[in-house]
């Protein structure tokens, strides 16, 4: 079963209007505040940023950094090309298993630290730079500098990156320090929730699917998985009492994947095992199973955002 949030819904007159959960829907939301004319004696609250990023222990909004610019660009592709004399264009051999392969991407942000005190601006910058560049403490050794970057402009996604550089330029006359933060990391935006999780605050209602992830296998089972994004790895947790044959999209039917049943070695139970496959882009990716047991799919969407 696939639950899809339609971008358009009909009203009582049968007229279709854009879904209120769509990112393209802009409902007028006036937010006027009135008070009596004259001297205002009420509390004056400081205005804080409501847009920004979170990375490790750093939260730009809580630090009072005002986000002024984002720079996202398509990552460069690993290309394998060749040309032949008297042939128009070139041959492109960059695709393997229906996938395009990309180099790390760069994401840049520009923030403003606004304060009349130059020591405050510099101190805020120093603390922020330290938080952005350090790795959080882990009880086990860390062999990957990449961490999750969260951006309020993409509430359904996260980016797996490391902070590459932090630089500043201060204008004492205006009381503004401009901070540039550059990240480097994986080429795709990754959905914060798994494909079977219906967490509304983390859903992209214009592109998202919430899909069934658990199935019982009793003989022959054919199911369909949709992937609105780029090809993505899918981990299958298989519990089986007999051999389970997997027929995966794009793989040879004459050489399918076979998962052996659960076995016991002494007091240790060895399950059928986890199998990871790449789910192609597109809808109706038909997957077949033969055997007895169950399968649970665990995957996130990967989008070129």
What does the alpha-carbon distance between residue 239 and residue 130 come to, in Å, rounded to a whole number?
46
For 225-258, the pLDDT digits (tens) are: 999 999 999 999 988 878 899 999 888 878 888 8
For 174-191, the pLDDT digits (tens) are: 999 999 999 999 999 999
Task: Out of 136, 161, 191, pick the residue that ends a domain.
Answer: 191
pLDDT exceeds 60 at position 24:
no
What integer pLDDT is reported at residue 210 of this predicted model? 87
Instruction: Kindly state whether residues 141 and 81 are assigned to the same domain.
Output: yes
Instruction: Kindly state whether residues 62 and 173 are assigned to the same domain.
Output: yes
261 neighbors 189 (Cβ within 8 angstroms): no
Instruction: Kindly state whether residues 246 and 283 are assigned to the same domain.
Output: yes
For 268-279, the pLDDT digits (tens) are: 766 567 889 999
Burial of 169 (0-12, 13-18, 19+ CB in 10 A): exposed
Mean pLDDT estimate for the chain:
83
Of 276, 109, 94, give the one whose Cα is nearest residue 182.
109
Instruction: Kindly state whether residues 177 and 248 are assigned to the same domain.
Output: no
Tracing tokens 């899809």 back to the chain, one arrives at 4
Instruction: Kindly state whether residues 187 and 205 are assigned to the same domain.
Output: no
Instruction: Kindly state whether residues 173 and 207 are assigned to the same domain.
Output: no
Q: Is residue 180 part of a domain?
A: yes
21 confidence band (pLDDT: 50, 70, 90):
low
pLDDT exceeds 50 at position 8:
no
**CATH code at 116?**
2.40.30.200
Task: Out of 134, 165, 191, pick the residue that ends a domain.
Answer: 191
For 203-228, the pLDDT digits (tens) are: 887 777 789 999 999 999 999 999 99
pLDDT exceeds 50 at position 286:
yes
pLDDT (average), residues 272-287: 86
pLDDT exceeds 70 at position 31:
no
Task: Out of 167, 191, 215, pick the residue that ends a domain.
Answer: 191
Dihedrals φ, ψ of 80, to 5°? -125, 105
Q: Is residue 29 part of a domain?
A: no
Instruction: Kindly state whether residues 179 and 229 are assigned to the same domain.
Output: no
**CATH code at 239?**
2.60.120
Helices (H), 110-178: 118-133
Domain extent for 109: 50-191
Instruction: Kindly state whether residues 132 and 185 are assigned to the same domain.
Output: yes
Instruction: Kindly state whether residues 228 and 290 are assigned to the same domain.
Output: yes
What does the alpha-carbon distance between residue 159 and residue 191 come to, in Å, rounded to a whole number?
9
56 neighbors 132 (Cβ within 8 angstroms): yes
pLDDT (average), residues 57-69: 94
Of residues 83 and 47, which shows the higher confidence score? Answer: 83
CA distances from 96 to 83, 101, 128, 278, 302 (A): 19, 8, 41, 12, 18
Q: Is the dihedral of CA 235, 280, 150, 104 positive or negative?
A: positive
Q: Is residue 30 part of a domain?
A: no
Q: Is residue 92 part of a domain?
A: yes
138 confidence band (pLDDT: 50, 70, 90):
low
pLDDT (average), residues 98-112: 93
Q: Is residue 164 part of a domain?
A: yes
Number of domains making up the chain = 2
Instruction: Kindly state whether residues 104 and 208 are assigned to the same domain.
Output: no
Q: Is residue 26 part of a domain?
A: no
What integer pLDDT is reported at residue 96 of this predicted model? 84
Of residues 28 and 298, which shows the higher confidence score? Answer: 298
């Amino acid at each position: 079963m696939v639950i899809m949030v339609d971008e358009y819904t009909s009203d009582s007159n049968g007229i279709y209007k854009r879904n209120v959960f769509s990112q393209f829907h802009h409902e007028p939301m006036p937010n006027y505040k009135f008070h009596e004319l004259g001297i205002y004696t009420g509390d004056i609250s400081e205005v804080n940023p409501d847009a920004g990023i979170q990375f490790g222990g750093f939260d730009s909004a809580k630090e009072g950094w005002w986000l002024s610019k984002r720079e996202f660009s398509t990552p460069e592709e690993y290309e394998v090309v060749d040309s032949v004399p008297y042939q128009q264009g070139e041959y492109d051999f960059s695709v393997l298993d229906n996938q395009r392969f990309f180099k790390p991407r760069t994401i840049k942000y520009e923030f403003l630290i606004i304060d009349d005190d130059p020591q405050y601006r510099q101190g805020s910058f120093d603390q922020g730079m330290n938080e952005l560049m350090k790795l959080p403490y882990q009880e086990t050794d860390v062999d990957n500098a990449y961490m999750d970057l969260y951006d309020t402009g993409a509430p359904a996604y996260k980016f797996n990156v490391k902070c590459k550089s932090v630089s500043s330029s201060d204008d004492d006359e205006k009381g503004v320090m401009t901070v540039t933060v550059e990240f480097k990391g994986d080429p795709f935006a990754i959905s914060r929730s798994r494909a079977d999780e219906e967490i509304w605050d983390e859903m992209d209602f214009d592109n998202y699917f919430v899909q069934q992830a658990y199935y019982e296998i009793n003989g022959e089972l054919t199911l369909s998985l949709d992937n609105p994004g780029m090809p993505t790895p899918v981990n299958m947790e298989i519990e089986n009492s007999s051999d389970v044959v997997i027929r995966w999209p794009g793989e040879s039917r004459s050489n399918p994947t076979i998962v052996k049943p659960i076995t016991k070695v002494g007091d240790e139970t060895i399950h059928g095992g986890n199998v990871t496959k790449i789910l192609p882009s597109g809808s109706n990716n038909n997957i077949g199973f033969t055997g007895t047991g169950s399968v649970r799919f665990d995957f996130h969407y990967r989008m070129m955002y």
